[in-house]
Amino acid sequence: DAGVTQSPTHLIKTRGQQVTLRCSPKSGHDTVSWYQQALGQGPQFIFQYYEEEERQRGNFPDRFSGHQFPNYSSELNVNALLLGDSALYLCASSFGDRDYNEQFFGPGTRLTVL
């Protein structure tokens, strides 16, 4: 049973560019959340998708957008990249409508903005 998978593993972009990160949830899961984790910090909640809709959003600008597909996989898009967007981007999946359900995290995508 595959866990949460993310692609790519690493990515290098320059300021002003756009990036798309991808996530496949754990089998049977229908909810996907995205987090940004800067070096030495805890994960910061970006948003959560459920039934192809953004259900909740953290304190991130509109440059951060996402999408969830009918197969529950998800994408995170970041436009107009800034140096400060360099971080580990984590995807987490869970099942069902309860927000206190256990979340399963992927290994993350390391984004470096030059």
Q: Is 100 in the site for other proteins (CB under 8 A)?
A: yes
Measure the CA–CA gap between 58 and 36, rounded to whole angstroms. Answer: 10
Q: Show the tokens assigned to 68.
A: 């969830």
Binding-site member from 5, 11, 22, 45 for other proteins (CB under 8 A): 45
* Element holding 33 (H helix, E strand): strand 31-37
For residue 45, which phi and psi values (nearest 5 degrees)?
A: -70, 125
Closest CA to 26 of 110, 87, 101, 78: 101
10-13/109-113 β-pairing? parallel
Judged by CB under 8 A, the residue of 26, 103, 111, 113 near other proteins is 103
CB-CB neighbours of 29 under 10 Å: 19
Shortest distance in whole angstroms from residue 56 CB to other proteins: 4
Q: Contacts with other proteins: how many residues (CB under 8 A)?
A: 27
27 in contact with other proteins (CB under 8 A): no
Contact region with other proteins (CB under 8 A), list: 12-20, 33-41, 67-75, 79-87: 33-41
| Residue 7 binding other proteins, by CB under 8 A | no
Which residues here bind other proteins, judged by CB under 8 A?
4, 33, 35, 41-45, 48, 50, 55-56, 58, 88, 90-92, 98-100, 102-108
